[in-house]
Structure 1
């Protein structure tokens, strides 16, 4: 028979009536395939096994760790079952494992393709939601829901792969047995279903998600934000590169001229099949090599490298290094009598009279330079030492800072140009890349900018102040408390 596709566990090609042993050309290509499969089996099982160990047993359970744990599990199952194909290749495609393993191996191979693209789709949509609907994500993006989605993905992948396993059969002649697609199987229908459900539709969803993320990121121009996308984008690109040749080969096989198909199978068949297996061992490498501080991590233990590279903070689309370009102290308002000014002054006075006693006393002493009582430039602040500091964010991106006056009010700069309904206040956050902190994300109900603030004057910043009324009261704690106001 024509061997390349017929023996491939992910193939939809049907065997011809007469089974023939591989030719010399086929044997040459099969030798190359055997070497590649052995390397994929070795690195895929070890690499994905380490990812499963780190994400499943050593890391804190987060939404992203759940995604990558299940993605690694799908790849681990696939690479583990490659041992059967390796043995078959070593025997010139003779299949000695019987009909059950023929069907099961095909289910695992096709199921891995569906599971991988479904998990990548879930990751992309999840990132898009985190970028566009921050408050909703903070309230609804939970580990339990991620686990439930993963269960649904596994069930869907199994359901999609069962028809392919059902269509696989073993054919024997003169003590030579092959595992191939049944002659009764609808080859074209299986090819269409695999392409649309396992590639085209999910990739459209993935592309749409990242286009939406890119549109949002263009408004902020954060270098760190762009870098944080590289891991997932690299994984998606690896999937595309590894699977596009396979689907092209399948359609050429379905619609092409029979004489040309034989030549194509000899070269494109093994190449496309090998690329699909390589994809399953790339992900663990991408997790590490796409890390910004890879050189530093090489000096650490392997487990710590993987644990750090796979942590939620490397997949966050918000930055912890963004700072407001200008910070100014409140200055006394210019004298004048206008109703708008009097209203603002009354609001400020009322706000400050509501400041609780004991405010401005952090529970943790900040690190300062004793000679001039100033914060040392470049020195990290002690967590919890500035509990009144808040972050003003849009879709997860920090763009300005502010100080908590009391549980209902925040003061910030007028040049921050805060817009209620669009921007949010984040309290209790020290490390933007940490998931252990109990942060509060509160919407802004009202923004009151000083009526005499001249937003066009970047030389004279008189009256550069805005009061923000929170939509809901902030919960006071050791990490969230008001500041002392200095007029």
Structure 2
């Protein structure tokens, strides 16, 4: 395989974007240049919005949940979820610049490695945190006495540290595989996955090794970043539904709604990305032009949707923490406390909640 096949003299923006996020090579005919340009600019716009809203919104969540509110198990979960999203959105300008420059990477090999590693660190850390949040809610409903005795902030902090460690282990291969290469014909540098640690694209053994490692990476990402967590979350929510039904209780608690909405939003945003990742593997074993075109067109859209998820949560906390109009009238601190608050029974009055905010505010000033 010639290098020009990987990086054609007139670069296909969609193919290169797919390569950046998904694969080390794409063998498809060029799509219409107007469509390529449109999707490239659309990606830049969405990345930019995610960067602005994500850094500000998640930074605000970290400040309020970490420093302005009383430390609870819920604030531990959501502050770490915000940290994962903040780190990812902080690195987004690199992807914005790379896309805007026509997929010419000017930042060096180290940042090429870090940029992809941070993206998948966010994926694994976020989905693991959402799984633990769902498990925590399930235990609180199914085993309330145990939760009251053992559900502590110290245990929550220890679990989050373990989550970060596992997430880093799963994304660390990108520190090794991610690499840069220069196309001498166009003088453009590309950031890509060098799964074989070789630029020899003609040797059959190297090609086979590259393909095998690529399939393993996508399989691990799909299994641990989507399928298993999604399955566990379904189990946890099914157990909760069964318990609530038997006890004739309702799902109306506000913290539960916030958590459930955050989980649903995450999987809706990441589902197309993972499906296209699997289809991309199929694409290399099944010569179907329609499938290849669908993967090429869908990948930048799915990637943009996945990236956009990193800026959604702060808005969900605010607008679901209270009634929409009330959230606009009241302070942001009150809205976040409502989203993260622990449940103390259905008869807690709004006067007691307001007093809690006043007490916390006075302690912080």
Q: How many equivalent pairs are there?
A: 325
Q: Give the TM-score, by structure 2 length.
A: 0.82
Shift of 1:294: 3.2
Q: How far does the alpha carbon of each residue in 1:370-408 deviate from its partner, in whole angstroms, 9 at most, with x for none?
A: xxxxxxxxxx7999xxxxxxxxxxxxxxxxxxxxxxxxx
Shift of 1:146: 0.6
Q: 1:5·1:265 contact (CA, 8 Å) conserved in 2? A: no
Residue in 2 aligned with 1:310?
Answer: 339
Q: Give the TM-score, by structure 1 length.
A: 0.62
Q: Looking at secondary structure, tell me which structure has more helix per residue.
A: 2
Tell me whether 1:248 sits opposite 2:275 in the alignment.
yes
Q: 2:125·2:164 contact (CA, 8 Å) conserved in 1? A: yes
Partners in 2 of 1:12 and 1:116 — Cα distance?
Answer: 19
Tell me whether 1:198 sits opposite 2:225 in the alignment.
yes
Gaps of 5+ in 1: 323-379, 384-430, 436-487
Q: Which deviates more from structure 2 when the two are superposed, residues 264-273 or residues 240-249?
A: 264-273
Match of 2:317 among 287, 290, 295: 287
Q: How far does the alpha carbon of each residue in 1:7-56 deviate from its partner, in whole angstroms, 9 at most, with x for none?
A: 358723112599x9994432221001111111111111111010000011
Tell me whether 1:217 sits opposite 2:253 in the alignment.
no
Residue in 1 aligned with 2:145?
Answer: 135
Partners in 2 of 1:9 and 1:71 — Cα distance?
Answer: 28
Shift of 1:3: 4.2
Q: 2:321·2:339 contact (CA, 8 Å) conserved in 1? A: no
Match of 1:113 among 116, 123, 133: 123
Residue in 2 aligned with 1:69?
Answer: 79
Which of 1 and 2 has higher RCO (CA within 8 Å, sep 6+)? 2
Tell me whether 1:271 sits opposite 2:301 in the alignment.
yes
Alignment map for 1:16-35 (pairs within 5 Å) = 23-35=33-45
Which of structures 1 and 2 has the bigger CA Rg? 1
Partners in 2 of 1:292 and 1:224 — Cα distance?
Answer: 16
Match of 1:125 among 135, 145, 165: 135
Q: How far does the alpha carbon of each residue in 1:196-221 deviate from its partner, in whole angstroms, 9 at most, with x for none?
A: 01111111111111111111112344
Partners in 2 of 1:182 and 1:35 — Cα distance?
Answer: 28
Gaps of 5+ in 2: 1-6, 197-209, 358-365
Partners in 1 of 2:62 and 2:350 — Cα distance?
Answer: 35
Partners in 1 of 2:338 and 2:17 — Cα distance?
Answer: 37
Q: 2:255·2:340 contact (CA, 8 Å) conserved in 1? A: no
Shift of 1:125: 0.5
Shift of 1:244: 0.9
Q: 1:71·1:116 contact (CA, 8 Å) conserved in 2? A: yes
Shift of 1:108: 0.2
Q: 1:167·1:181 contact (CA, 8 Å) conserved in 2? A: yes
Residue in 2 aligned with 1:102?
Answer: 112
Q: How far does the alpha carbon of each residue in 1:229-275 deviate from its partner, in whole angstroms, 9 at most, with x for none?
A: 22111111111111110111111111124433541243201111001
Partners in 1 of 2:161 and 2:133 — Cα distance?
Answer: 15
Match of 1:181 among 186, 193, 206: 193
Alignment map for 1:148-187 (pairs within 5 Å) = 148-173=158-183, 174-182=186-194, 184=196, 185=210, 186-187=213-214
Residue in 2 aligned with 1:301?
Answer: 331
CA separation of 1:81/1:61 partners in 2, compared to 1, >3 Å: closer, same or farther? same
Residue in 1 aligned with 2:199?
Answer: none
Partners in 2 of 1:294 and 1:207 — Cα distance?
Answer: 28
Q: 2:54·2:86 contact (CA, 8 Å) conserved in 1? A: yes
RMSD: 2.8
Partners in 1 of 2:245 and 2:251 — Cα distance?
Answer: 13
Tell me whether 1:320 sits opposite 2:346 in the alignment.
yes
